[in-house]
């Protein structure tokens, strides 16, 4: 079983749509959680950290369910510029302060006019 | 504010050769991590350097080695290249462990093609 699993997509949605991505992780000792965005042939960039209490940044909402080992990302009012691959990332570094990031394969989003 | 820089941007090698990739961390960062990203996959953790020592390592063979210099820059060396080593190699830098949230910032990567 992969440490971090995501539906690879692609998710094809029209502008203005709401889209949700899900991710599961296998290591119950995982310390912290993130969503990164990666544009075609570019480097990953941090979109947002994910907390159990849930967090929102504009049109983006992330949620963590530690009991189910499940992470989600919701994008509201999709824009053409949201087209990218969204990577679910889990930090499995032990309490040493050093991050060891494990990435999912990514979910590709295509927003059309 | 200078971000993470990597060189070269592209590289073509043949099987059995050796390669060295370079990374300069974001200003103010002292921790460097290296990742390999094959086509259609997420990045895979290779290793991490802090205070010129390898602190963590992923599931990569000893052919993959690294170094960190006193100015925090880092090198990734791969010996005896295989076709399967063809990938995008990403360097990420972060702040001193424990000091802050330690967000990892990625460089643009080096695309390695092994023929």
| Summary mean pLDDT of chain B | 94
Question: B42 and A106 in contact by Cβ < 8 A?
Answer: yes
Q: What is the pLDDT of residue B97?
A: 74
Contacts of A105 in chain B (CB under 8 A): 40-42
What's the count of helices (H) and strands (E) in chain A, helices before strands? 0, 11
Confidence of residue A1 (pLDDT cuts 50, 70, 90): confident
Q: What is the pLDDT of residue B101?
A: 60
Q: What is the pLDDT of residue A92?
A: 87
A33-79: pLDDT as tens digits? 999 999 998 999 999 999 888 899 999 999 999 999 999 999 999 99
Interface contact B50, partner A, CB < 8 A: yes
Given CA atoms A88, A94, A97, A99 in this order, what sign does their dihedral have? negative
Which of A96, A98, A103 is facing B42, going by the closest CB pair? Answer: A103
Structural contact between residues A4 and A90, judged by C-beta atoms closer than 8 angstroms: yes
Structural contact between residues A41 and A58, judged by C-beta atoms closer than 8 angstroms: no
Give the rounded percent of residues in chain B with a pLDDT score beyond 70: 95
Question: What is the average per-residue pLDDT within B68-97?
Answer: 95
Q: What is the pLDDT of residue B99?
A: 63
Q: What is the pLDDT of residue B1?
A: 64
| Predicted confidence (pLDDT) at residue A96 exceeds the cutoff of 70 | no
B5-17: pLDDT as tens digits? 999 999 999 999 9
């Amino acid at each position: 079983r992969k440490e971090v699993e995501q539906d690879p997509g692609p998710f094809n949605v029209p502008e203005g749509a709401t889209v949700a991505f899900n991710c599961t992780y296998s290591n119950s000792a995982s310390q912290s959680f993130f969503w990164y965005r990666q544009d075609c042939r570019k480097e990953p960039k941090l979109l947002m950290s994910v907390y159990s209490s849930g967090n929102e940044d504009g049109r983006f909402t992330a949620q963590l369910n530690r009991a189910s080992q499940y992470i989600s990302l919701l994008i509201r009012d999709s824009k053409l510029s949201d087209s990218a691959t969204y990577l679910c990332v889990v930090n499995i570094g032990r309490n040493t302060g050093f991050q060891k990031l494990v990435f999912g394969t990514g979910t590709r989003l295509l927003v059309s006019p | 504010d200078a971000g993470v820089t990597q060189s070269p941007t592209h590289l073509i090698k043949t099987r059995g050769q050796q390669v060295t990739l370079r990374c300069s961390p974001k200003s103010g960062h002292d921790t460097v991590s290296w990742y390999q990203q094959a086509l259609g996959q997420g990045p895979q953790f290779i290793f991490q350097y802090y205070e010129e020592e390898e602190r963590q390592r992923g599931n990569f063979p000893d052919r993959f080695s690294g170094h960190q210099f006193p100015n925090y820059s880092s090198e990734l060396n791969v010996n005896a290249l295989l076709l399967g080593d063809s990938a995008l190699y990403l360097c990420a830098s972060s702040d001193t462990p424990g000091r802050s949230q330690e967000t990892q910032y990625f460089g643009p990567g080096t695309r390695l093609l092994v023929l």
